[in-house]
Structure 1
Amino acid sequence: MLIALVLDQDENIVPIIDGTILRIYDTESGTYQDYPNPALHLKEGRRGAVLRFAQEKGATVFASPPKTFCELSYAKAQENHIQFCQLHGQIKFDTFQELLNHGKVLIKNHLPAQEIVPS
């Protein structure tokens, strides 16, 4: 499974528009590939651009701290059958890996409405 995560410079998983790195993590091999966050240089459609890029790279799951998606990007993610690792705040990537490996990160088809920001 390929999971998309957006990271800041300290490797904290953050909402799509807050990080500088888009990481595609392969849970089968334990490897990842980093890309510059496509949202950095856009004024609008930033969340959607990151979602599209992640999907082009094969990601089917998105690590999602609160406020990762807006209404439009969330609807698009659902339309494209993206699943979500709901995070309750920022955590470091290595902590996420450990939690995932121990089955403590759930993969869901939906996120709570209060975690989605208005478009």
Structure 2
Amino acid sequence: MRSLQRTWPFHIMLLPAIIFLIVFSYIPMGGIVMAFQNYKPWLGITGSEWVGLDNFRFLFQREDSLQVVWNTLIIAVLKMFFNLLVPFVFAILLNEIRKVALQRSIQTLVYLPHFCRG
């Protein structure tokens, strides 16, 4: 109890982050229920008919579902590969520039769009 009396301001500072996490990460998970329903927007989540795994059976019984899964996996792996490879190659190429002023200017121009997002 004594440590809580000392650290209560830190707990209060943590409260907005916890609220943000709950609102944007945990509350939307309630929508996962729609995958197991014959969802009708005018009935809502609680009024729609429960169908269990029928939606998944329908999805995976289609002849092109295996191709869709493979395409998704291939795209995900390629995105991971290139999202790691491109920054490494850029860093190595940037390191090869001898003039420090030019090197810093190019680095600033490349990273500037990351600070301008709204």
More helix by share: 2
- How does the TM-score come out when normalised to structure 2? 0.20
Structure number with greater CO (CA < 8 Å, separation at least 6) is: 1
- How does the TM-score come out when normalised to structure 1? 0.20
Structure number with bigger Rg: 2
